[in-house]
A and B are shown apart, each in its own frame.
Chain A
Amino acid sequence: MSLVLYDYALDENCYKVRLLLSILGVPHETVAIDMFPGSEHRGPAFLALNPRGTLPALFADGLLLTGAEAILAYLAERFDESGTWLPADPAAFGAVLSWLHFAVDELSAAARARAHAMTDAPADEAAVVAAARAALRLMDDHMTKREFSGGRFFVGETPTIADLALFPAFALSRDYGIDHDEFPALRRWIRRVRAVSGFLTMPGIPDYH
């Protein structure tokens, strides 16, 4: 078996994949790509490997996988013996996929806002921050209602890849100027995600020493 993750330490999408690899204890190699300031992911060497020029990229026994959410699903399907991270039950499976879609659709505003704040990537700052805040509100509304029946995670009784796909946008929200003050249910939820065995931090998500 050979797994090679092309990774950039400060990228929240790469972080999602690092999280699941750590949680599932999957041995892998990591190749650091200088996304900023080097733009190595847009250079000829990396484009020869991944023509999309996107990170993360995972080579699994020679198969190229791109897109953090797709990689999470692949890793869960292949390595999660518990079957809980991507549940097979149709309702839970559908709900997890709905949140994965939310992560790459509405919530992508958070990644754009953060890239703009940290690396000056072009964006309409007010618009992406407002869109990110609207997405975080939807998440807080959801977790508020989940808590009434004891729900601790976005879907089902245990964490799924939906929680990992949604986690960085909120955990890193201060990077792009959104405080946690307005999102009490999400504040409680990220504490639960942080307590998952195998959890990793990244720059901007501190370890409570």
Chain B
Amino acid sequence: MSAGWYPLALADGIEPGTSAGTQLFGKELVVWRDAGGAAHVWEDRCPHRGMRLSFGFVRGDRIACLYHGWQFDGAGQCRAIPAHPHLDVPETIKVATYRVAERAGVIWAADAHTEAPEPAARDALTPIRSLYVDRPVAAVRAALAGAGFPGADGAPLPFAGDAGGLLAFGAPEPVLFAALQPFAAGRTALHILAVGAPAAEDRVALAGAAEVLRRALEGASALAEAAA
């Protein structure tokens, strides 16, 4: 993983006691939230048989693998192996973990030894949705910087710069932010948030605008490939 912090999910979307799989540069990660509300980002592999931990289940402050129930605490340390209930689990059975920050309504992760500053805090944002697009992150960024974000009412929200890892849209003041996750080769996730507290129908309209954006991005790619 490259240096720096990367957005992986909308914070609201990962409920306490649940887990989700995702990818960063094609590497599989698990994002999970323990019962106490703390978010964790790990390599998505049980050290036992390589099963994705995101297929498993959260119990209290641990996540358990679906295959054989091995349980890992918040530090990635294996704490229980059901087939060997009396075993004092060796310290070496551990999952690789990442640093986590919840800022601006987004769960961000960085390499455990990163020296990059944590993403900036930003208040009063309302989550709209995560949008998964079959386009490389550079192409998504270029398209957004050029054409802005489709507006809920048809008029595009102009690109207003990159503010601490969040692309801003709208003038004179930003009304929408998007954090771009380099998901895998040719695939990008956009975590989209609105400024303030829009009503449900306005959030629906913005989510619809995101669908328009996905069609535009992927349609443009299909046209480009057909022309090539």
Contact = CB atoms under 8 A, between A and B. Distances in A.
Interface of A: 141, 144-145, 148-149, 174, 179-182, 184-185, 187-188, 191, 206, 208-209
Nearest to A209: B69
Contacts of B189: 182
Contacts of B129: 144, 184-185
B166 to A, nearest CB: 19
B100 interface: no
Interface string B20-37: 111100000000000000
A184 B207 contact: no
Contacts of B13: 184, 188
A9 to B, nearest CB: 20
B200 interface: yes
Contact of B207 (A148, A174, A206): A148
Given A148-B200, A181-B21, 12 more contacts: A144-B129, A145-B207, A145-B208, A148-B203, A148-B204, A179-B21, A188-B13, A188-B15, A188-B18, A191-B18, A208-B57, A209-B69
B66 interface: yes
A181 B211 contact: no
Contacts of A206: 55, 66
Contacts of B55: 174, 206
Nearest to A150: B200
B9 A184 contact: yes
A94 B15 CA distance: 32
Interface string B113-153: 00000000000000001101000000000000000000000
B168 interface: no
B41 to A, nearest CB: 13
A181 B54 CA distance: 9
Contact of A181 (B10, B23, B57, B66): B23
Nearest to A180: B21
Contacts of B21: 179-181
A182 B204 contact: no
28 contacts: A141-B211, A145-B204, A145-B207, A145-B208, A148-B204, A148-B207, A149-B200, A149-B204, A179-B21, A180-B20, A180-B21, A181-B21, A181-B22, A182-B132, A182-B189, A184-B9, A184-B13, A184-B20, A184-B130, A185-B129, A187-B18, A187-B20, A188-B13, A188-B15, A188-B18, A206-B66, A208-B57, A209-B69
Contacts of B9: 184
A190 to B, nearest CB: 11
Contacts of A191: 18
Contacts of A149: 200, 204
A115 to B, nearest CB: 22
Nearest to B204: A145
The winner among B55, B132, B208 for most chain A CB atoms within 10 A is: B132
Nearest to B29: A181
B13 to A, nearest CB: 5
Contacts of B66: 206
A205 to B, nearest CB: 11
A144 B66 CA distance: 27
A112 B213 CA distance: 30
Contacts of A174: 55
Contacts of B200: 148-149
B154 to A, nearest CB: 18
A184 B132 CA distance: 10
Nearest to B202: A148
Contacts of B54: 180-181
A180 B22 CA distance: 8
Closest 8 CB pairs of A and B: A182-B132, A208-B57, A148-B200, A148-B203, A149-B200, A181-B21, A145-B204, A184-B13
Contacts of A188: 13, 15, 18
A174 B51 CA distance: 13
Contacts of A141: 207, 211
Contacts of B130: 184
Contacts of B10: 184
